Amino acid sequence: MLLPVLAVVASLTACGGGGEGADARLAGIKVFKSMDSLQCRGGGVSLAALQAQLTAANIQVHSAECGNDGQPAPTVCGIPDGRIGIFDIPVGQASAADAAGFKPLTTLPGAKTVPCS
């Protein structure tokens, strides 16, 4: 019984076994961009349209969700409502996302995900 277990462990070790290398390949960074919607009026850009901007820049999107920037703002019709699109992308594509106007979510410490409306 011990011999088959050792054989499996040895083969997983030889193949990398999904260790740190796999984590590095799967590592992602969350980036965001404003949806440009306004209080009392809505409008702006859809989550799908923002994702299409990333795809057009050859950036792989692992996940997409709606969010709020968490910044305090007065309740005044016609000013930005803080809605953002949040995307998980590969770490290695962060500079390309920046060139497309997307910023790291870490620059908005109060941001949170919210249901898309």
Domain that includes residue 67, residue range: 27-113
In a domain, 59, yes or no: yes
In a domain, 17, yes or no: no
Of 32, 38, 27, 36, give the one whose Cα is nearest residue 78.
Answer: 38
pLDDT per residue as tens digits for the range 90-106: 999 999 999 999 999 99
pLDDT per residue as tens digits for the range 15-67: 444 444 545 456 899 999 999 999 999 899 999 999 999 999 999 999 999 99
In a domain, 99, yes or no: yes
In a domain, 21, yes or no: no
pLDDT at 109 over 80: yes
In a domain, 18, yes or no: no
pLDDT for residue 27: 81
Token pair for 74: 């007065």
In a domain, 41, yes or no: yes
In a domain, 67, yes or no: yes
DSSP structural state of residue 43:
-
Q: How many C-beta atoms surround the C-beta of residue 38 within 10 A?
A: 15
Which of 6-15, 28-37, 84-93, 106-115 is predicted least confidently?
6-15
Give 80 or 27, the one with higher predicted confidence. 80
